[in-house]
Amino acid sequence: MVGKLSEKTCLAFWLVLFCIPKQVDAQNTPEIHAYRLQPEDQIRLDGRLDEDFWEKVEAADGFLQQEPLEGRPATERTEVRIAIDEENMYIGAWFYDSEPDRIKAFQRRRDAELDTDDRFVFILDTYNDQRQAYYFEVNPLGLMGDGILRTGQGSELNRAWDGIWRAWVTRDDKGWYAEIRIPFMTLNFDAKKETWGVNFLRTIRRKNEETLWTGFERKAGIERPQDAGKLHGMRKITQGLGVEAIPYAITSQSNSRFDPEGESTQEFSYNAGGEVNYNISPNLKAGVTINTDFAETEVDDRQVNLTRFPLFFPERRDFFLQGANVFVFAPSSNPNPYFSRRIGLRDFEPVPISHGGRLIGRIRETDVGLVHVRTGEQGGIPGENFTVGRVLQNISDESTVGAIYTRRAMDGDSLPVQETYGADINLSTSRFFGNKNFQFEAFFVGHTPTSFKDTTDQWDRSVRGFRFNYPNQPWDAHVSYREFGINYDPAVGFAPRVGFRRVQPSVTYNPLLENSKVIRELSWQYYFEYLMMMDWRPATVNHNIRFLGIRMESGDEIYFNVHRNFEFLDLPFDILRDGEFVVDVGNYVNYGYSVEASTAPFRRVGGQISYMDIGFWTGRQTSVMANFFLRPFIGLNMTGSWEHSQVDLVEGSFNTHLFRLISSYDFSPWVSINFNVQYDNVTRFLGTNTRFIWVIDPGNTFFIVHNHNWQEFNQRLITMETQSTIKLSYTFRF
């Protein structure tokens, strides 16, 4: 009887906590109405905001500080107004400033990080469901950044999404101003809903002041659609026919050699292809792609791997990034049942994609994503078919339950069809103990045998886990548990380490010092990781303590940390993969410390540096990671980085160096040239990547890309590969 009562009590607790609809206090939720442009209203998109109709539009104002003084009125006045016609949304924003000559603005290139600049950020929750939103930002130079937000265990911002929209900015002796046009064809929305979620943020960089229209609490913010206000009047809007065609043409010339002493071969090629997208409804978009090409994609950041496990490289290809937020699966636990870099890439080399299709959007209260891609034969390896499906059902006010499925089939009969399937649930509430955030996540992923001779157990080919999260300020804490089966290897996923059980709690305390004119925030953190083998023997045990973190009013930061690490090595470990430094099986306990410091990012000269001294297997490792930036004038950004490790072991000593220089000059928000140089002394490869980008008009882009790679051989550099590519991509909308 007691057991049954306990089960009922527990179920009732979860229902009350996560599933009973939240009662919204209309008095505390700010609202504005979109003004519908009339035939007599004339709009000139120039950033001046001097049209008469703007005076008729209801303003969002009364911004409050999130930092430095939470809840206090903003020190500078901000007003935002929204107007619409049948096909577009227009946003007018006034950013008054008592010291306009001190406005910070360095960046012009699209999607550049704006931790350097004054900025205006707004989100549009077009479904008004508090789970996802479109994210937009501009700065006083007209930079445009965008992405798609999805909430879960924190917020996931997919900045790779590039919508077609436009911003115009101006400045005068009263401040700066922005005028923005967003075509409704750029957005997915529910045409039956006349109310959207909306929120606005303004950053005044010289003061390190963040102000919001609503959701100003530190536990809230612009990346939480749950805390947005309401935008009414979103009716009688259309996406036109909803047809979008994006053809491209490309030509390329390359020279390459496989051996530093061998002859190079030259190849010239040209190709054409593109995408066609169709909005089945304002909620749902279907698309097909033919001869998909990624020649304009930025190169990966090179990494030196001194760990036992493969490194993770993020996706950079546009086709797979568009709509990627739908496929996010338990991101805080990293089961990675779908990792798009397993498609169209083999050992970092591109594999031709002959065609593909996708369906992304929403059907009622369910987000859906479906991708199918066909790769061609290359180097004697047969072509393959890849299919990925994802559904995510909204439940309650802030929670979701979902499923994922992937399929990989190679031509012929060398491998069986490999399928992966998983389910996840995310329960969230913003009213834990009245007004706190609390989240719960659980997941399971399994897959079919990886070969015809695979007789492993299903439990060994699966992963499962759960996580409790308390994301608040000044206290932030979580605890998670996960198990990765010893034979887990999803065919379209990524699993750097398997065969373990892991418990990982952490707690952070970040108080603001409101009465200090020097220090903005202090920080303490304890991070604990207890990772066991499947037989419960400890394999990795980490204690990381931030015993002091300081964030200054100026934006400069410094952190002091101590570390303790235990590792059980069950197999010999060849550190550099060349047989020279091999660590024997055994138990290893090491201690160390680290210091991290960074300057305020709005400075013209500055950077970040971290220093770590810690035991490393049979000896010790000293590491330095330094990044320095230089912005001598607007448009020019230069960043140099150096990653160095000095390793001293019983087996011997060695050094690693990785150098990177990234420089760019942005002539305007539409024209830029970028130069990337990388070298490391482990592979002895020097590589350069030069990209010229001309955005003729939003959606229409011209690229020139040149790559040059050298191999150090006999104390000299030998050219291994050069490749020059010209690509034009154009967008037609109907």
Residues 76 and 202 in one domain: yes
N-to-C CA span, the chain: 66
SS3 531: strand
Residues in the chain predicted with pLDDT less than 70, given as ranges, are: 1-27, 153-154
pLDDT in tens, 519-544: 999 999 999 999 999 999 999 999 99
From the list 398, 522, 520, the residue with the least C-alpha distance to 469 is: 398
How many other C-beta atoms lie within 10 A of the C-beta of residue 26? 9
Residue 614 Cα distances to 241, 569, 594, 648, angstroms? 61, 18, 8, 11
Counted domains in the chain: 2
SS3 104: coil
Residues 19 and 162 in one domain: yes
354 φψ region: left (φ > 0), alpha (ψ -120 to 50), beta (else): alpha
Residues 95 and 214 in one domain: yes
Residues 303 and 170 in one domain: no
Please give the residue range of the domain that contains residue 316. Answer: 283-453
DSSP of 360-399: EEEETTEEEEEEEEEEPPBTTBPPEEEEEEEEEEEETTTE
Q: Domain for residue 715, yes or no? A: no
- Exposed / middle / buried, residue 396 (Cβ in 10 Å: 0-12, 13-18, 19+): middle
Distance CA(133)–CA(135), nearest Å, equals 6
Residues 185 and 329 in one domain: no
Residues 116 and 212 in one domain: yes
Q: Which residue has the tokens 């700066």?
A: 176
Select from 453, 468, 500 the last residue of a domain. 453
Residues 288 and 422 in one domain: yes
Q: Domain for residue 428, yes or no? A: yes
Distance CA(732)–CA(734), nearest Å, equals 7
Q: What is the pTM of this model?
A: 0.88
Select from 453, 479, 514 the last residue of a domain. 453
Q: Which residues contact 492 (CB under 8 A, 6 or more apart)?
A: 337, 338, 339, 342, 343, 386, 388, 406, 407, 408, 418, 420
Residues 136 and 220 in one domain: yes
Distance CA(605)–CA(640), nearest Å, equals 12
Q: Domain for residue 483, yes or no? A: no
Question: Residue 586: its pLDDT value, please?
Answer: 95
Question: Residue 376: its pLDDT value, please?
Answer: 86
How many other C-beta atoms lie within 10 A of the C-beta of residue 152? 23
pLDDT in tens, 476-510: 999 999 999 999 999 999 999 999 999 999 999 99
Q: Domain for residue 269, yes or no? A: no
Q: Domain for residue 659, yes or no? A: no
Q: Domain for residue 326, yes or no? A: yes
Residues 349 and 444 in one domain: yes
Question: Residue 407: its pLDDT value, please?
Answer: 96
Distance CA(417)–CA(460), nearest Å, equals 19
Q: Domain for residue 98, yes or no? A: yes
Residues 165 and 298 in one domain: no
What tokens does 610 get? 């971290």
Question: Residue 347: its pLDDT value, please?
Answer: 72
Select from 453, 477, 501 the last residue of a domain. 453
Residues 389 and 305 in one domain: yes
Residues 70 and 193 in one domain: yes
Q: Domain for residue 304, yes or no? A: yes
CATH number of the domain that 127 lies in? Answer: 2.60.40.1190
